[in-house]
Amino acid sequence: MNRLVPRRTSTPARSSAADLLDELDRLRNLVFEPFGSTEVGDWAPALADLEERDDEFVVNVEVPGFDQEEIQIELDGRRLLVHAERSEERREGTMRASTRTSGHLHHEVLLPAEVDREGIQASLEQGVLSVRLPKAEQSERRTIDIT
């Protein structure tokens, strides 16, 4: 039986923080390349839920700190796209550390079924965007007699 053994190569010890960041970028590219673009930059994925009810889908997306006019919602077929972007705050000093959400958020979800595009509603309350998408009417199943 063959066993996979990691290949060992001699690499010099990391000499700087820049080398470490380069290695992190390489690992990020290795992980995310199969999913499309590896350019993350200052983009952050949004935290979101998709709930299916009897007559509608409800998508709740966390968009903390974004105003209504900074959020764009699109429906492309069954793909719902939410994009939020705000301009960088002007700072007087040097940023030494930050754990705040970036200035860009993106969420994309494939809805399980077609929706009634005219009935879609969106609201923003306490940093949560709620998009209500009524289900499209389904044609009823019927039995067809053979004559």
Residues 121 and 80 occupy one common structural domain: yes
Residue 118 confidence (pLDDT): 93
Residues 25 and 61 occupy one common structural domain: no
- On the question of pLDDT at 36 being above 50, the answer is no
pTM: 0.61
Residues 32 and 78 occupy one common structural domain: no
**Average predicted confidence (pLDDT) for the chain:** 79
Residues 66 and 112 occupy one common structural domain: yes
Q: Is residue 146 part of a domain?
A: no
How confident is the model over 70-122, as pLDDT tens digits?
A: 999 999 999 999 999 887 677 788 777 766 655 788 899 999 999 999 999 99
Residues 131 and 75 occupy one common structural domain: yes
- pLDDT confidence bin for 38, thresholds 50/70/90: very low
Rounded-to-10 torsion of CA 82, 100, 94, 86: 20
Please provide the DSSP assignment of 27-87 as one string.
Answer: HHHHHHGGGS----TTEEEPPEEEEE-SSEEEEEEE-TT--GGGEEEEEETTEEEEEEE-P
The CATH number for 58's domain is: 2.60.40.790
Beta-bridge partners for 107: 82
For 57, the domain range is 46-88+102-138
Residues 36 and 81 occupy one common structural domain: no
- On the question of pLDDT at 133 being above 70, the answer is yes
Residues 106 and 130 occupy one common structural domain: yes
Q: Is residue 76 part of a domain?
A: yes
